[in-house]
Structure 1
Amino acid sequence: MIEDLVSIIIVNYNTEKFLENCIVSINKYTRDVNYEIIVVDNNSEKGSVSSLIEKYPAVRFHFSEENHGFGRANNIGASIAKGEYLFFLNPDTLLINNAVFLLYEYLKGNPQVGICGGNMYRGDMTPASSFYDIDFLTYEYKIIFNIKRYPGFNYTTGPNEVKVIVGADLFIRKSVFFEFGGFDKDFFMYFEEVELCYRLRKANYKIVSVPAAEIIHLQGGSAENKNEELGKWSYREHWYSKFLFFSKTKGKLQTKILYCVYILKLRMAMLYFSIRRNKGKLEYWNLKKNIINDAFGRYLKYLSNK
């Protein structure tokens, strides 16, 4: 492990165009700190990143023979990282200032902080979700009952303690990451950063938003929703990971209650649109119900195998 070296870890799965732009932005804006770039390729289409290997010889590419998902692939990247610090970065992000140095400088100077991250912007430079500062169970019930929710964005000029830094730009010491076992391998995609932040907070580490570090997040660019079927898969995976997270952090009973309340809301919506004879809306809510049911069934199967 090399002191003061930042290992920037990017997981790629058929996102080579986004990936190249991300690499270019890192090289363009990062200064005053030593860094390496590690790309963990999750068994993308053959030859899809071959041109990048030639164009960016300093980037370390690791090729997996299967798609490990987000957390497990990042664990692989961490295991081969040389740096004292790890910066997990989505391929659909673009640095717009010296964010790597700013996050490194902040974490280095604040040993009580376990994880930090910057302010994220959409492609049009409007604020994007950068963190969560509310208990996730409360957040879910706000969704169910259509209570207004505010995006996690640091509008102040200084660091603020939060509950979760989004996984698109998560900065952590390598020693802390491995002390806590890295990302939970039970998650394939979604909620793994939420669960990691939860464990660190329980151990009295702080999770901090550092607004000086600025990054564009082209949300959805690295997700699996490039067509209708992959969109359904992504939605199922999101719900499965959600049930898994709440089971691990809130318990099985709270998870079952949350599921039942969601299904009740969906059935009420279906009844309403059935009465209104709105076939399109009825099909939409029925599909949503079936996907959530499938995800919950998978979660129950997971419990039975533990």
Structure 2
Amino acid sequence: MKIDITIIIPIYKNEHVLNQCLNSLKKALLKSKLSVEYIFIVNDPAFKKTLYIFPKGANIIFNTENLGFAKGINSGAAHAGGNWLLLVNADTVFKPSSLAEVQPYLKSKSTAMIVPKLLNKDGSLQYNLIAEPTLCNLLIEQSYLYKLLPEIFRHPQSDKRLYKHSGEVNFASGCNVFINKKVFKDLGGFDERFFLYFEDTDFCHRLKKTSYKIIYNPGSVMVHLRHQSHGGNFPVDKYTNSLFLYLCKYHSRSYVKLYLIFLLLGQTARYFFLSVTGKLHAKNNDYLKGLFTIRKFLLS
């Protein structure tokens, strides 16, 4: 039987949300005419005890250590039989029509990536379109101009107008996206040097150099609980490591140094502002860890 979509779900300390994700997926499949297969990438050995929650016939790949998102997805894609890949974060709840809404795009020969509309748990918009890390975008972000004047800067992390209509976009988060398997393999999949974060930005960067399109489709709606797929904490060190890797991959050493200087200044100013206003709280360690990591790369 022809398989339309291979659903790849990495598993790491997220068994508490996986059942809800799979149940919502089952309901969404009932409203579509899609044939699917499941591949689970288990990066947490302790998870073996809960085998019963996996759908019948699922391909389960157990790893003795956490391989990271990019390497995990690549290993799943190597076993995929579907024409498309759906990269699912386990902390996701699918709306009933989320899969049916993408069906027309799956037949497009010019589309390589379909990006759904993501909502937070409270129903508010989750900004899953992203801006490439450039000096220009950094200055807009660190100065908060993108939030103060969203109608002027049209930044994907603040301008809600960008999320109202379907159309071609340049960069998007890899969270719950559909990717054409052939294009994914032709481009070499995700760069496995990115353990977590920026593997999606890097893939979009490479995809932009081809004739294929990245399509945002707000008709396909999913609720993403955020950070529950890796234990509930934001790993700022991994984020900063991947940012540095991305910058080095596409820019000169002087460009990277300048970027890090502005980033360090902006984050330091934000740290002191949050400290003075009493809004730092639990983020204290995250900010300090981020500042020390940026400083480490700046001095390297």
1:210-251 per-residue CA deviation (whole Å, 9 max, x = no partner) reads 11111111112113444xxxx5xx011111111111222333
Instruction: Give the conservation status (yes or no) of the 8 Å contact 1:128–1:152.
Output: no
Instruction: Indicate how the Cα distance of structure 1 residues 168 and 208 shifts in structure 2: closer, same or farther if over 3 A, else same.
Output: same
**1: CA distance, partners of 2:221 / 2:127:** 12
Matched residue, 1:65:
64
Residues 73/287 of structure 1: CA separation in 2 closer, same or farther (3 Å cut): closer
Q: CA deviation at 1:200?
A: 0.2
One-letter amino acid matched to 1:163: N
Q: Which residue of 2 aligns with 1:87?
A: 86
Q: Distance in 1 between matches of 2:188 and 2:297?
A: 24
SS in 1 for 2:44: coil
Structure 1 residues 90 and 269: alpha-carbon distance in aligned structure 2, compared to 1, 3 A threshold: closer
Counterpart residue type for residue 114 of structure 1: A
Identify the residue that residue 12 of structure 1 maps to in structure 2: 11
Amino acid in the other structure paired with 2:139? Y
Residue 154 of structure 2 corresponds to: none
* C-alpha distance in structure 2 between counterparts of 1:273 and 1:127, whole Å: 25
Opposite residue 245 of structure 1, the aligned amino acid is Y
CA spacing shift, 1:161–1:214, aligned 2, 3 Å: same
SS in 2 for 1:208: strand
Decide whether aligned partners of structure 1 residues 152 and 3 sit closer, same or farther in structure 2, where only a CA change above 3 A counts: farther
Query: 1:148-187 maps to which residues of 2 (within 5 A)?
Result: 148-149=146-147, 150-151=157-158, 154-157=162-165, 159-187=166-194
Counterparts of 2:51 and 2:77, CA distance in 1: 22
Question: Structure 1 residues 17, 272: closer, same or farther in 2, change over 3 A?
Answer: closer
Counterpart-to-counterpart distance in 2, 1:48 and 1:258 = 46
> Distance in 1 between the 2:270 and 2:118 partners?
34
CA distance in 2 between counterparts of 1:125 and 1:179 reads 37
CA contact (8 A) 1:244 1:299 kept: no
Task: Output the amino acid matched with 1:236.
Answer: D
Cα distance in 1 for residues equivalent to 2:227 and 2:33: 31
State whether structure 2 residue 133 is matched by structure 1 residue 136.
Answer: yes
Amino acid at match of 1:192: E
Aligned position for 2:38: 37
Unpaired runs of at least 5, structure 2: 148-156
Q: Amino acid of the residue matched to residue 243 of structure 1?
A: F
Return the alpha-carbon distance in structure 2 between the equivalents of residues 215 and 269 of structure 1: 32
Aligned with 1:140: secondary structure? helix
Q: CA 1:136–1:107 in structure 2 vs 1: closer, same or farther (change >3 Å)?
A: farther
SS of the equivalent of 2:139 reads: helix
Bigger CA drift: 186-195 or 261-270?
A: 261-270
For residue 83 of structure 1, what is the amino acid of its counterpart? G
* TM-score of the superposed pair, with normalisation by structure 2: 0.84
Q: What code does the residue aligned with 2:243 have?
A: K
The aligned counterpart of 1:112 is: 110
Equivalent-residue separation in structure 2 for 1:273 and 1:19 (angstroms): 35
2:74 aligns with 75
CA–CA distance in structure 1, aligned partners of residues 51 and 268 of structure 2: 49
Q: Matches of residues 248-267 of structure 1 in structure 2 within 5 Å?
A: 248-267=249-268
Shift of 1:146: 1.8
Aligned partner of 1:103 in structure 2 is 102
Aligned to 1:291, what secondary structure does the other structure show? Answer: helix
Q: 1:200 to 1:155 in 2, by over 3 A?
A: closer
Separation in 2 of the partners of 1:258 and 1:235?
Answer: 17
Question: Deviations for 1:2-37, whole angstroms, at most 9, x for unmatched residues?
Answer: 755210111110101211111111111112111112
User: What code does the residue aligned with 1:127 have?
Assistant: L
* Cα pair 1:42 1:68 within 8 Å, conserved: yes
Q: CA deviation at 1:101?
A: 3.5
Q: Are the equivalent residues in 2 in contact too, given 1:189–1:237 (CA < 8 A)?
A: yes
For 1:147 and 1:61, the matched residues in 2 are separated by 46
Amino acid at match of 1:136: P
Corresponding residue for residue 146 of structure 1: 144
User: What is the percent sequence identity of the aligned residues?
Assistant: 24
Local SS of the residue matching 1:45:
helix
* Cα distance change, pair 195–8 in 1 and its aligned pair in 2 (3 A): same
User: What CA distance in whole angstroms lies between the structure 2 residues aligned with 1:155 and 1:129?
Assistant: 8
Residue 57 of structure 1 and its aligned partner are, at CA, apart by 1.9
